[in-house]
Amino acid sequence: MSTSFSLNGKSTTLDADPNMPLLWAVREVAGLTGTKFGCGMALCGACTVHLDGKAIRSCVTPLSTVAGRKVTTIEGLAGKPAKAVQAAWVKLQVPQCGYCQSGQIMSATALLESNSAPTDADIDSAMSGNICRCATYSRIRAAIHAAADAVKV
């Protein structure tokens, strides 16, 4: 059984169980390992990718639901907000263990793409689904504000 969709801008056909969560299809079938497994229940956000530009949890999204749609993973991030987010992450030295950060960056980028000047409350609401056990939250917040400022310039 195969599913065709756009993966990081490239038409892709993956031969896999259509019920397989997108997370495992992207990691083990397409070989893109930047997206992480954290909970398997959409509770932690480590697996966040973009589906048609919106942040979704790939661990609970069956491969079949992305047929004909656009999926972006950390490997395919492009555009001004995304690059500003990644640059701010490095500049403010956000990552510690780093395992959740792909998901954090995907959520933060989706936020900035829909809201160019997020408030702290906007950040809370967009980012509270992404757990960081190292608790890098203060720096994530600061980096999102810094990225928003950088995009404005």
The footprint of other proteins (CB under 8 A) covers 16-17, 20-21, 24, 28-29, 31-41, 43-44, 46, 73-75, 77, 86, 89-90, 93-102, 105, 123-125, 127-141
| CB nearer other proteins, residue 98 or residue 145 | 98
| CB nearer other proteins, residue 45 or residue 51 | 45
The nearest distance, CB 127 to other proteins, in angstroms, is 4
The nearest distance, CB 71 to other proteins, in angstroms, is 14
CA 119 – CA 30 distance, rounded (Å): 36
C-alpha atoms less than 13 angstroms from C-alpha of 63 in its C-beta half-sphere: 23
The nearest distance, CB 53 to other proteins, in angstroms, is 18
| CB nearer other proteins, residue 51 or residue 82 | 82
